[in-house]
């Protein structure tokens, strides 16, 4: 089978790394890929939807696997289907579960899924009046995609009003802020739960916890994720099953009933509150860096299960997992999530990758003309380790981190602290 993976981050390196282990794979491309992905796939410098579809047609690609949400919201899956190409990922209408928070909340509320109360606003005065009525803490979100920055968890009323001004008044996020969703603040521990969906069925595809704040002890500004681990010990298998049954399956049924069936991976951001798990949001893709730890633990052939989802045949499919814990430490460029330097050289990658149980996945790298690997993004590497316990996985990951020679990079030193505290 010939497969094209779309994207070029750590998530896509993890997907390519796992797909490359499939005995059914004959050829793997990644668009655009990165310097690490180039060791397992042929990277092609494409990103526009028509170019990707034309490439898939010309090269008789059997399956297109879409990593990030943006091309899905733009209609990449629709364009593949129209061209007769199999695709793993939802159509644009189904990707609206992530592309429009208002739409997602309407679907979720109608399906009776436990979630935060909410209201949608296109009028700034009414939005502010609602905040004053409800008081803080309260959460303000842009309706549209804002590269992960469109959410303000406001601990004070003033902060919430400021967020509305930034989103709807100053248009800090462009048209994504034409509408906002204002919702209840939920307190608890957050987990990421994944399900493979084939339009009518959903099967459990693992759970993980990530660390969103940039600093040790979960302090400082939010990032795309500085590390993750799986399994997530806060969730028992019974809780995971309950999340599938009560939070995910009703959404898949609702989408099918609306004539916009959901195919691909559905990522439920879940808050485990004192009243049980509640849905924070849906994403229409694997998490990054959660995908890195899921792939490290997956025993099943990834190509088989992605294909089954794309073909509407998940009946009887049950992904198999190693009982090991996997943990990823993200190495980012100093300054991230603010401004940072690009083009700095990373050494010691082979030494790091030689630690038992470790794979160094690349998130933002390129190969310079000199042959050196250089950093090109904010999040640059995902040092991923497997171990019998979370402590062993963490020791291995930091052993590998310490073998890297990249003075312009940094990482958190406490990834997995909640899981380790629980284990102890």
Distance in Å, CB of 105 to ligand GLY, minimum: 17
Q: What SS3 state is found at 49? A: helix
Minimum CB distance to ligand AMP smaller for 27 or for 212: 212
For residue 412, give the DSSP letter.
-
Q: Does residue 225 touch ligand GLY according to CB under 6 A?
A: yes
Distance in Å, CB of 377 to ligand GLY, minimum: 15
Q: Does residue 287 touch ligand GLY according to CB under 6 A?
A: yes
Contact 92, 72 (CB under 8 A): yes
Contact 36, 361 (CB under 8 A): yes
Q: Which of residues 266-285 bind ligand AMP (CB under 6 A)?
A: 269, 280-281
287 binds, among ligand GLY, ligand AMP, none (CB under 5 to 8 A by kind): ligand GLY
Rounded CA-CA distance 424/162 in Å is 42
Q: What SS3 state is found at 396? A: helix
Q: Which of 12, 179, 288, 324 binds ligand GLY (CB under 6 A)?
A: 288
Minimum CB distance to ligand AMP smaller for 34 or for 223: 223
Q: What SS3 state is found at 51? A: helix
Contact 271, 186 (CB under 8 A): yes
Contact 20, 28 (CB under 8 A): yes
Piece in contact with ligand GLY (CB under 6 A), picked from 17-25, 45-53, 178-186, 281-289: 281-289
* Number of shown-chain residues binding ligand GLY (CB under 6 A): 7
Q: Which of residues 161-220 bind ligand AMP (CB under 6 A)?
A: 183-186, 190, 212
116 binds, among ligand GLY, ligand AMP, none (CB under 5 to 8 A by kind): ligand AMP
In a 13 Å sphere around the CA of 248, the CA atoms on its Cβ side amount to: 32
Q: Which of 283, 365, 376, 384 binds ligand GLY (CB under 6 A)?
A: 283
Question: Exposed, middle or buried, 45 (CB in 10 Å: 0-12/13-18/19+)?
Answer: exposed
Q: What SS3 state is found at 420? A: helix
Footprint on this chain of ligand GLY (rule: CB under 6 A): 210, 224-225, 283, 287-288, 290
Footprint on this chain of ligand AMP (rule: CB under 6 A): 116, 139, 148, 151, 153, 183-186, 190, 212, 269, 280-281
């Amino acid at each position: 089978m010939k497969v094209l993976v779309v994207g070029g981050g750590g998530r896509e390196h993890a997907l390519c790394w796992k797909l490359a282990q499939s005995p059914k794979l004959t050829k793997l491309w990644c668009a655009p890929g990165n310097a690490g992905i180039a060791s397992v796939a042929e990277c092609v410098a494409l990103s526009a939807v028509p170019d990707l579809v034309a490439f898939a047609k010309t090269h008789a690609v059997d399956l297109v696997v879409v990593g990030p949400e943006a091309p899905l919201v733009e209609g990449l899956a629709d364009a593949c289907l129209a061209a007769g190409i199999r695709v793993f990922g939802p159509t644009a209408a189904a990707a609206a579960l992530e592309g429009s928070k208002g739409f997602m909340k309407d679907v979720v509320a109608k399906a009776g899924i436990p979630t935060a109360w909410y209201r949608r606003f296109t009028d700034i005065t009414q939005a502010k009046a609602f905040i004053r009525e409800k008081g803080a803490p309260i959460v303000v979100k842009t309706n549209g995609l804002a590269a992960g920055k469109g959410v303000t968890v406001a601990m004070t009323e003033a902060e919430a009003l400021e967020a509305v001004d930034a989103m709807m008044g100053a248009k800090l996020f462009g048209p994504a802020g034409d509408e906002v969703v204002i919702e209840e603040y939920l307190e608890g521990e957050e987990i990421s739960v994944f399900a493979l969906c084939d339009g009518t069925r959903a099967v459990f595809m693992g759970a993980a916890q990530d660390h969103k704040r940039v600093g040790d002890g979960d302090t400082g500004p939010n990032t795309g994720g500085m590390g993750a681990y799986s399994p997530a010990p806060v969730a028992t298998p019974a809780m995971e099953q309950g999340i599938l049954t009560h939070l995910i399956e009703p959404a898949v049924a609702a989408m099918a009933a609306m004539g916009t069936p959901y195919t691909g991976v559905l990522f439920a951001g879940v808050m485990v509150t004192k009243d049980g798990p509640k849905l924070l949001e849906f994403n229409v893709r694997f998490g990054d860096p959660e995908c890195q730890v899921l792939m490290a633990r997956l025993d099943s052939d990834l190509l088989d299960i992605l294909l089954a989802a794309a073909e509407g045949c998940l009946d009887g499919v049950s992904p198999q997992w190693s009982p090991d814990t996997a943990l990823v430490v993200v190495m980012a460029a100093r300054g991230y999530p603010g401004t940072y330097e690009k083009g700095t050289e990373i050494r010691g990658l082979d030494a790091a990758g030689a630690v038992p149980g470790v794979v160094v996945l690349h998130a933002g790298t390129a190969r310079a003309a000199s042959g050196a690997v250089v950093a090109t993004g904010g999040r640059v590497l995902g040092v991923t380790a497997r171990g019998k316990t979370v402590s062993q996985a963490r020791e291995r990951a930091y052993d590998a981190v310490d073998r890297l020679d990249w003075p312009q990079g940094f990482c958190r030193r406490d990834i997995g602290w909640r899981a380790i505290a629980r284990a102890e």
